[in-house]
Structure 1
Amino acid sequence: MDAKANYPQGHYHISYFEQQQLLIRNQTNLVAALLRLTSPTVPFNQLNTLLKGGVTNRRLDDATVQRALNLRTAVAFITSSPQGFDLLTFSHINDLVTEGIGLGGGELRKLGHVIVADQQVDLPLPQQEAVERDILNIRLTHSDYTDRALQILAYIIRKQLFNEENLVTAMLVANQVLSKRGGGLLMVSQTQLAAFDRQLLGFYHTGEADALCHWLYDDAIVGPEILP
């Protein structure tokens, strides 16, 4: 494993086996981190029991259970799927995330207004040809896979590509990119949520990705050192 470098050079260049172990052993941690973005009060032990097929001693609401199971499926997909840096792959991830909790999963957004940072904002509708062109440009322009992962995350959030769950989808897409090149795991911990929210708010206000990408690079990408 190489020493950590400076952005945009990748933090990690680990083997396929190490990357798979990182994802498999931290599946529940990653699901918990993603779930906290929308349901911050779900206890980890309850989530862990649910994902392992056990019976929890505290009833979780149906929407939270569905989200958790969707996220488990999506994490399994990015762990085992072939490499795919294209709209079809990203749409499939969004479809997995939104199964049973929203309409139009995997489809490009059809409403001109979205809720961002608790405010309604008018955004142009994403057009398929333009989106595909933008994704290709990101792939060609950002040769380092860590940089590419963070740039596509910022793009999905900024454009609000899908009808629902854009932030969670963007985090999963970034992890899918990292996982195919041994780039580690992108995961915002519970103690980082407030700082992450501040970075997101600044990004929503400015539309500039640099500060958000730098923060994620410095604080939210982890490697084999977190394996038990």
Structure 2
Amino acid sequence: MNVSNKFNLDNRESIFLLKKCIVELVHSASRLENVNTTFSQTKTIVNGMSVSGISTDDMQVILNLKNAYQYVLKLPHNTNFHLAIACKINSFIAYNESLEWGVLRTGNVEIYGVDYKPTIPMESKVVSTISEIRDNNESQTYKALKYMYYAMRTQLFWDGNKRTAIVSANAIMMLNGLGLVNISEQQLEYWSQLLTRFYETNEDSAIIQWTYDNCIYGINYRDSRSEN
């Protein structure tokens, strides 16, 4: 598996990129909850205006994602990602959607369409796993994707796990100048097939490599030397 860092952005560039892409990130992630707004409608809602014909629940999903990314943008540069950040992100993502938000799940849940049943997460084990991911010798981009898929499969929270995991991965990406990860609406069907396979097998190499190859974005500067 080849998952090196594609980008090496400074803090100013990373914040600029996330701000520029926030509507696209919110729009893509909202599709995970079957929100059917157009990109233009999503942009209008993110910008704080109402859109006729959109349900209150769908608007809540979009605004929750927006608030989660606004929290990420305020994280101090070079912050080490840890469980408290993931919980805070979930407190925005799952606000008014879940039994509880911002705390680890304390009961059993099932994942629709798969036989795999996640166990109830233990805080000490989650903290230990996050440390193991953070301290391994792979690239920072690999670590962000590794955490993202670990968090999805473990189902750390009562609700909003995929959205929380993606925003958390982007927190890691932004804090380390790595660009952003975004699974677009057009990629969701194939990605869902890979995710189902991962849930059933706990083998993440294929989905991490595919995500790296197809879903990492950043700032590509034109090399002026090529014009000389």
Q: TM-score, normalised by structure 2?
A: 0.90
User: What is the CA–CA distance in structure 1 between the aligned matches of 2:188 and 2:142, rounded to whole Å?
Assistant: 22
Give 1:53 shift.
2.1
Confirm or deny that 1:133 pairs with 2:150.
no
What aligned pairs does 1:69-80 form with structure 2 within 5 A after superposition?
A: 69-80=63-74
User: What is the CA–CA distance in structure 1 between the aligned matches of 2:48 and 2:84, rounded to whole Å?
Assistant: 31
Q: Residue 210 of structure 1: which of 202, 205, 209 is its match?
A: 205
**1:179–1:185 contact (8 Å) kept in structure 2:** yes
What aligned pairs does 1:157-196 form with structure 2 within 5 A after superposition?
A: 157-196=152-191
Between 1:131-140 and 1:75-84, the stretch displaced more is: 75-84
**2:115–2:200 contact (8 Å) kept in structure 1:** no
Q: Mark the runs of 5 or more structure 1 residues left unpaired by the alignment.
A: 1-5
User: What is the CA–CA distance in structure 2 between the aligned matches of 1:37 and 1:203, rounded to whole Å?
Assistant: 17
Q: For 1:114, give the aligned amino acid.
A: E
Give 1:84 shift.
3.6
Q: Residue 61 of structure 1: which of 55, 68, 73 is its match?
A: 55
Change in 2 beyond 3 A, CA 1:70/1:40? closer
User: What is the CA–CA distance in structure 2 between the aligned matches of 1:121 and 1:106, rounded to whole Å?
Assistant: 24
User: What is the CA–CA distance in structure 2 between the aligned matches of 1:41 and 1:142, rounded to whole Å?
Assistant: 40
Q: Residue 101 of structure 2: which of 79, 99, 105 is its match?
A: 105
Give 1:8 shift.
2.2
**2:114–2:200 contact (8 Å) kept in structure 1:** no
Give 1:119 shift.
4.5
User: What is the CA–CA distance in structure 2 between the aligned matches of 1:67 and 1:55, rounded to whole Å?
Assistant: 14
**1:7–1:147 contact (8 Å) kept in structure 2:** no
Percent of matched pairs sharing the same residue: 28
Q: How many residues align?
A: 219
**2:28–2:183 contact (8 Å) kept in structure 1:** yes
Q: Mark the runs of 5 or more structure 2 residues left unpaired by the alignment.
A: 222-228
Q: For 2:15, give the aligned amino acid.
A: Q
Confirm or deny that 1:17 pairs with 2:12.
yes
State the 4+ residue runs in structure 1 displaced beyond 4 angstroms: none
**Aligned residue for 1:86?**
82
User: What is the CA–CA distance in structure 2 between the aligned matches of 1:88 and 1:46, rounded to whole Å?
Assistant: 32
**2:6–2:178 contact (8 Å) kept in structure 1:** yes
Q: Secondary structure at the match of 2:111?
A: strand
Q: Secondary structure at the match of 2:121?
A: coil
User: What is the CA–CA distance in structure 1 between the aligned matches of 2:153 and 2:81, rounded to whole Å?
Assistant: 18
Per-residue Cα deviation, 1:1-39 (whole angstroms, up to 9, x for no partner): xxxxx7221111122222111111111111101111112
User: What is the CA–CA distance in structure 1 between the aligned matches of 2:100 and 2:35, rounded to whole Å?
Assistant: 25
Give 1:113 shift.
3.0
